[in-house]
Each structure stands twice: as C-alpha cells, then as structure tokens.
Amino acid sequence: MAISHATTVVAIRCLQGVVMAGDRRATAGHLISHRTIEKVFPADHYSGVAIAGAAGPAMEMVRLFQLQLEHYEKVEGKALSLDGKANQLGMMVRNNLPAAMQGFAVVPLFAGYDTNREFGRLFQYDVTGGRYEEREYAVGGSGSLHAGTVIKLGYRPDADADEMIDLAVSALFRTAEEDSATGGPDLVRGIYPVVAVIGAEGFQRVADEEVETRFRDLLASLENQGGDSQ
C-alpha cells in the first residue's frame, strides 16, 4: 500500500517575524499522488505549522492541534504562549511515534510571532517529539538538504519579509530541480507553493498571484544570467 508523503517545507526568520513556505507535491513511492496539496497552515492567529511526512496523519495532526489551541483560548480566556504551543505540538509528534515506527512519520515545522518578545520564532522536531528552536531558518522533508543550502547562502538576519519570501521561493525552485519529490512552480496548471508571513498582524497567506509573479521574476532573472530554468 503506497502512502502519500508531503515533501519540502521551509521557515525563515525576518524582521517582521517568520516566512513559511511549502511546495504542493505529494508522492507515493515513485508516483506523484497529488499536485495541489497544501502543507502550510495557520495554527492560530499568531502561529503556523508546516507538514512533512505521511500526509494523512500529518493533516489530521494539524486539525487536532488547531482545535486544541482554540479550546484552550476559549476555556482560559487567553491564547497559549508560543512555547506552550511548541511543547503541545511536540507532545503530539511524540504520541505518533508508534505509527512513525511503522512508516507513518510526521515531522512538522512550527513558527510564530511571540507577542511577548515581539519577534518571530521557529521550531523543528524529530520523530520522537524532540523540540529544537532555530535562530535563522528551519527546513523539513525530502528536499531539506537542498533547500537548507540555498537558504543558508542567501540568509541575512536584517532582511525583511519581502526579501525572505523571494529566498523561500528560490529555495523551493532550486530544490525541485534536484529532488523529484518536491514540486516546482507549474506555470501551465497555475500551481505554486503556499507562502505565508507570520508577524505582529498575525498569520497572513501570500496571494497566489504574488507568488506567481515572484516565480516569473526568478525565471526571468535566471534566463538573463544564462542559468538553467528548466
């Protein structure tokens, strides 16, 4: 039985908070099982989660996580702290360990705007639920090595969200060139990665039209440089 797996996701800190992005491809073995799957979701108003791993369990985990945060806020009258949210997600990943040992691993990225400290924060996890805060960027999925290299070379701690959106777009494009499980921009079908910015104004998804424009600008730049844009 072939299981759909979500692939490459990234999160990058910027002056306004955090940029999150994920490609749209899911694979089952060597087959493309879905071309339009979304991997970046709001967890609540000031945080988001990006999924990699077994797609079905991952999306179910996201829905449950969203409900838990909403329930806590209704009961307590205030939102859970960002550290509390990160810990809660880590516990959910840890509870999924028996399934992970059977091939249904879920390894998310979590990011948000810390309203107390007034800056963006991001976290990675392992399959045991281990939580690791990153200062600059985090990557996950089959293309994480390639995406991480592109981001590492282009990251600047003083960069704003606009620049980091372009960097995320470039990272996913370059990763799709090297990793068959990562989907690049599909200009024919109009399918582009999901990109979001999480800052003082909350979780805001970047419009598909803007993401398309940024990809077309990237392709034009590569063509002008004589680079490989295939």
DSSP 15: S
Task: Give the tens place of pLDDT for each residue, 158-188.
Answer: 999 999 999 999 999 999 999 999 999 999 9
Class (C level, CATH) for 5-223: alpha beta
Q: How far apart are CA 195 and CA 175, in angstroms?
A: 16
Write out the catalytic residue numbers: 7
Q: Determine contact, residues 146/181, Cβ cutoff 8 Å.
A: no
Residue 7 is predicted with a pLDDT of 84
Q: How far apart are CA 52 and CA 39, in angstroms?
A: 7
Task: Give the tens place of pLDDT for each residue, 1-44.
Answer: 556 776 899 999 999 999 999 999 999 888 999 999 999 999 99
Q: How far apart are CA 59 and CA 77, in angstroms?
A: 27
User: Where does the pLDDT of residue 205 fall: very low under 50, low under 70, confident under 90, or very high at 90 and above?
Assistant: very high
Which letter, b or e, does each residue of 48-62 get, where b requires 16 or more Cβ atoms within 10 Å of its Cβ?
bbbbbbbbebbbebb
Q: Which residue has the tokens 């910027």?
A: 14
Residue-averaged pLDDT of the chain: 94
The one-letter amino acid code at 40 reads V
User: Where does the pLDDT of residue 230 fall: very low under 50, low under 70, confident under 90, or very high at 90 and above?
Assistant: very low
Domain spans of the chain, in order of start: 5-223
Identify the H or E element spanning 172: helix 161-178
